Structure 1
Amino acid sequence: MAAHAPTATPSVPTPVPPAAGGPVKTSRFRVPGEGSSATISAVTFAVLLLAWFAVTNLGWVKPLFLPSPQAVFQQFWEYLTGTANDKPLWQHFGASLLRVTAAFWLAVLTAVPVGIAMGMSRWARGIFDPPIEFYRPLPPLAYLPLIIIWFGIDEIPKVLLIYLSCFAPLALAARSGMRGASQEQINAAYSMGASYAQVIRHVILPSALPEILVGMRIAIGFGWTTLVAAEMVAANVGLGQMVLNASNFLRTDIVIMGIVVIGVVAYAFDLFMRRVETWLVPWKGRM
């Protein structure tokens, strides 16, 4: 009986321990995007502010086209203290905040169930998908005249215009999120005796929640974007109305002040939604 030749086993490199007393080297590699970018954002903001200050104070641009930061801050202070020849800032801000908040939460209460139904039923998808995809690319000013004709010029058309801008991204995000649960998770829940309703409650909806929260962030941004168009409808108070009224008199300093206030408020809402996202879906990005 012939002897078999011994099979050569691949050699495994033996790790060399660090020298006694020597420093242990650690990897300096960082995943792109890891860590905070707050310092970079602060530096970027400071550079832009200094550039704005230099361009306007050196006379390179006329104040009609771009007023100085001092002039914008002066208008902000006058509106904040109520000394401006207009309603105080808190009245404009309160009216706009009420309109955007009411329209946003109304969209959340209606669009999220519609999106969930679209993600689970082909009948719901066939009913709701065509009208949503039809009006979603349209700018709000395109159907603003119809809303005025149908609903008048009081608060309803303003809230409705913002509501429509928030509805589509929320519904589509909820629909996309309903497909986030893997088939293995669903089968595992069924094998453990879960009912259809329990699978939806404990498997599908938690998987869809991150997409729904992203849709809420996008929708609140669209709401503040549509605010100026909504307050064109015979409004006498509101941040958008303040900007439009100032533009009629070529008050660029008030226009820029209103734009900055709207941008800061919208950014604060986005930061709040990010914080809510970390509270409700702490597992996002870790699976």
Structure 2
Amino acid sequence: MRREITDQAPPSARQRLLTLTTHRRVLQIGSVLVFLLAWWAITRFGNINPTVLPSPIDVFHQLIVTNQCTTSETGRVRCGAQDYYLWQHLLATLQRIGVGVGAGTIVGVLLGWLLGISANARAVVEPYLGFLRALPPLGYIGLLIVWFGIGDVSKVVLLFAAVFPTVAVGTLAGVLSVKQDWIRAAKTLGANSLQILRRVTIPAALPHIITSIRIGTGLAWSAIVAAELNDGIPGIGGLAYISGTQLDTALTIACIIVIGITALIIDQLLIRLERRCTPWVGK
């Protein structure tokens, strides 16, 4: 009798969440498989020039051969692409992304916090932040090369410029979102300035800050090809650009896929960080 009641009981919230998550994963994987099948069918039966659109098999082949050494008919041994393995290109780009995003995040959070607590500083600096946010990376890459050369410095500064304004504006919005009623309530309970900062201001601003870091990181990935246009080898963006100029479309698409997947993984890690640091959001 007890077993019958248990069997007839409605599923728990945890089971419903697991079912919903599994359903989403099936839809996501299924959509990818359908896309790959349609891509293969178009290139297989559509009589399309491989230079215009290579098959997914050719792209997958590039992902393999660019991570190993091959011997040509003349006996020359070639390793990777442009004398670097694909993973080395990705690692070089990740290092540039890490430095640019890290510096942009630190400076952006500090400046945004300052603007949030100082109306005078906000009135002076906020228009410049709007100006920087509106500029596309390609708009000042030439100027950065003149100032810093074609080495890694100009690339990192470009990535910094893509991240810094977004994080600063997000931090500013987070600080301004703190309600004065919360601060007065904390003071009524005897909290000092440090406790208000730790218990009220930072928790209230943190969701905005992490979201702005996610957006800024995405902007950095979208700017990486522009950053690595000149002397971008090793670099996954530089490899995508050079392979495109050489009409190696399969390798170009392979680089784009690697950039997209890597950016997606980093974004998912930031989402997990956001959920861990701000578990109260949405509840």
Q: Do the structures match in fold with TM over 0.5?
A: yes
User: Runs ≥4 in structure 1, deviation > 6 angstroms?
Assistant: 23-27
CA contact under 8 A between 1:82 and 1:89: conserved in structure 2? no
Distance 1:198 1:213, change over 3 A: same
Distance 1:148 1:198, change over 3 A: same
Alignment-derived partner of residue 49 in structure 2: 62
Is residue 145 from structure 1 mapped to residue 132 from structure 2 by the alignment? no
Mapping for residues 226-265 of structure 1, pairs under 5 Å? 226-265=223-262
Report the CA distance between 1:42 and its aligned residue: 1.6
Q: Which structure: larger Rg? A: 1
TM-score by length of 2: 0.86
CA contact under 8 A between 2:62 and 2:251: conserved in structure 1? yes
Report the CA distance between 1:25 and its aligned residue: 9.3
Distance 1:140 1:229, change over 3 A: same
1:31-72 CA deviation, whole Å, 9 max, x = no partner? 9xx943322222221111111111111134321111001100
Distance 1:26 1:237, change over 3 A: closer
Q: Identity, % of aligned pairs?
A: 34
* Matched pairs, number: 263
How many angstroms apart in 2 are the aligned matches of 1:150 and 1:277?
Answer: 37
Mapping for residues 265-284 of structure 1, pairs under 5 Å? 265-284=262-281
Matched residue SS, 2:140: helix
Alignment-derived partner of residue 162 in structure 1: 159
TM-score by length of 1: 0.85
CA contact under 8 A between 1:157 and 1:233: conserved in structure 2? no
CA contact under 8 A between 1:242 and 1:258: conserved in structure 2? yes
Distance 1:237 1:184, change over 3 A: same
How many angstroms apart in 2 are the aligned matches of 1:47 and 1:60?
Answer: 20
Matched residue SS, 1:178: helix
Report the CA distance between 1:232 and its aligned residue: 1.1
Structure 2: unaligned runs, 5 residues or longer: 71-79
Matched residue SS, 1:145: helix
RMSD: 2.4
1:129-157 CA deviation, whole Å, 9 max, x = no partner? 12111121111111111111111111110
CA contact under 8 A between 2:89 and 2:233: conserved in structure 1? no
Report the CA distance between 1:186 and its aligned residue: 1.3
Distance 1:161 1:91, change over 3 A: same
Alignment-derived partner of residue 75 in structure 2: none
Normalized per residue, the structure richer in helix is 2
How many angstroms apart in 1 are the aligned matches of 2:27 and 2:91?
Answer: 32
Alignment-derived partner of residue 8 in structure 1: none
How many angstroms apart in 1 are the aligned matches of 2:8 and 2:66?
Answer: 60
Report the CA distance between 1:220 and its aligned residue: 1.0
CA contact under 8 A between 2:174 and 2:206: conserved in structure 1? yes
Match of 2:108 among 87, 108, 111: 111
Alignment-derived partner of residue 40 in structure 1: 27
How many angstroms apart in 2 are the aligned matches of 1:262 and 1:223?
Answer: 11
CA contact under 8 A between 1:65 and 1:252: conserved in structure 2? yes
How many angstroms apart in 2 are the aligned matches of 1:35 and 1:121?
Answer: 45
